[in-house]
Amino acid sequence: MMRKHVKHGVSRVANQIVVRSDQYRTWTMADGNVWIDVPGLQRRQKIAIPLNTTVAPTGTLRLILRQGRVEVHYAIEATDLRETRPCGTIAIGIDKGYTEVLTDSDGVHHGDDLGTILRGESDYLMVKNARRAKIRSIADKAREIGDEAKADRIKKNNLGGVKRRRRQARFEPRVRTLTFTAVHSLIDKANHVIAEDLTRTFTSRKKLGRNTNRRLAAWTKGVTAEALHSVSERRGSALTLVNAAYTSQVAPCCRILGERAGERLHCTRCGEEWQADHAAAINVLERYGDPDISLWTPYTRVRQILQERADRLRTRLPVQDSSPSGRRANHPTRATTLKEAVFSQDAENAREQRSGPVG
Ligand SMILES: [Zn+2]
């Protein structure tokens, strides 16, 4: 999957090494501080590094040289960080949003500020990247006419990454904190979270292109997935991943495919207006324990199942709306809108192709 979707991974890391657990030694000095020694470039010569801690690192280390200081990074068991804050008592469905981190199946938003933060950063980056592109083209032109000195000067002074990385290093923790806080507040009320598998929906980097907004949104999706896994593990709540195909399009009131208009989802049968995120969260919750739709059911089959269920409901249940106009609208002519006509035609074709004629 990685080879197919993420092409040309490039590492610009040049300031760190990884030290295996059997290649360093730790000891404690009289003042209580820990030192480690790691292999140097000279044979049998080790380099001793004093740490500002009294707890010795264990396992594989990553040493990062940053502004003249050595940072020692190492992994610790998540179980050692177990939280004591109690979980809630209900099962809850969630939908990932972009104006907020999550919407749950009660219609409550968690992490409201996400949209503002993302929009601010996205707007900033768009202007900044455009200006950098302009400067880069000046440098390229200089190189073309043989003015190497000018091109190098621009590259060094105007197209560096120090400030950009510094800003990123401030931005990313803000989003992460917001996301983790949102997931914690969710687990304050639930001990079982039902969610769509946010890591499964790969979008190729090529398709994201230069659209900063979409790239940021895709990144926050990964952060949310990480937060759900990590917080569930630490607080001992359950996390179930379900198939999310069409969950944002089904109106929970009548279980038919509604009409989506921006943030709203309109039920074409009873006329109810849903907030799309809220409806999606309810549908995700209902996918848990759905006998026909598993995590691996292809989306074409999911659409077919939904259509079959809607058809069954339509023939068995009397029409609720008794107004003349309502009755006319609900008359089983199958196709009331163009969208629905195309849709049921597709389902018909799929049925024929996949399983032959249905009796
Ligand atoms: Zn409805």
**b/e map 275-295, b = 16+ CB within 10 Å:** ebbbbbbbbbbbbeeeeebee
Q: Please report the pLDDT score of residue 203 as a whole number.
A: 52
pLDDT surpassing 80 at residue 290: yes
DSSP state of 101: S
With a cut of 50, say whether residue 324 has pLDDT above it.
no
Query: Residue 220: which residues within 8 A CB-CB, separation 6 or more?
Result: 98, 101, 114, 118, 175, 179
Cα(274) to centroid of ligand 1, in Å? 9
Name the percent of the chain lying above pLDDT 70.
83
Total residues belonging to the chain: 359
250 CA to middle of ligand 1, Å? 9
Is the pLDDT higher at 357 or at 64?
64
**Dist. CA 253 → ligand 1 center (Å):** 4
Q: How far apart are CA 79 and CA 219, in angstroms?
A: 26
- Provide the residue type at 273 as one letter: E
76 confidence band (pLDDT: 50, 70, 90): confident
DSSP letter string over 235-250? Answer: HT-EEEEE--TTTTTE
Distance from residue 144's CA to the centre of ligand 1 (Å): 64
Beta strands in the chain (DSSP E): 16-19, 25-28, 34-39, 46-50, 61-66, 69-74, 90-96, 102-104, 109-110, 190-196, 238-242, 250-251, 256-257, 259-261, 264-266, 273-275
Average pLDDT on 71-75 reads 91
pLDDT tens digits, residue range 161-175? 889 989 999 999 999
Query: No. of H helices and E strands in the chain?
Result: 10, 16
Using CA atoms, how far apart are residues 90 and 187, in angstroms rounded to an integer?
9
- When pLDDT is averaged across residues 207-232 and rounded to a whole number, the result is 82
What mean pLDDT do residues 229-235 have? 91
Per-residue confidence band for 250, with pLDDT thresholds at 50, 70 and 90: very high
> Do the bridges between strand 273-275 and strand 264-266 make them parallel or antiparallel, or are there none, so unpaired?
antiparallel
Q: Among 93-102, 203-212, 220-229, 249-258, whose mean pLDDT is lowest?
A: 203-212
Please say if the pLDDT value at position 54 is more than 60: yes
Instruction: State the distance from the centre of ligand 1 to the C-alpha of 258, rounded, in angstroms.
Output: 8
- Taking the centre of ligand 1 as the mean of its atom positions, its distance from the CA of residue 176, in whole angstroms, is 37
Rounded to the nearest angstrom, the distance between the alpha carbon of 332 and the centre of ligand 1 is: 16
- Distance from residue 246's CA to the centre of ligand 1 (Å): 16
Kindly give the distance from the C-alpha atom of residue 266 to the centroid of ligand 1, in angstroms, as a whole number. 8
Residue 256 Cα to ligand 1 midpoint, Å, equals 7
From ligand 1's centre to the CA of 264, what distance in Å? 13
pTM here is 0.69
pLDDT at 32: 86
Question: How much is the pLDDT for 216?
Answer: 85
Mean pLDDT of the chain: 83
Task: List residues bridging with 70 in a β-sheet.
Answer: 65
**Domain boundaries defined on the chain:** 2-76, 90-242, 250-355
- Residues 257-282 pLDDT 10s: 999 888 899 999 899 999 999 999 99
Tell me what pLDDT residue 332 has: 38
- In the chain, helix, strand, coil percent, each to 5? 45, 20, 35
Helix axes 114-144, 162-189, angle to 10 degrees: 160
- Cα(211) to ligand 1 centroid in Å equals 36
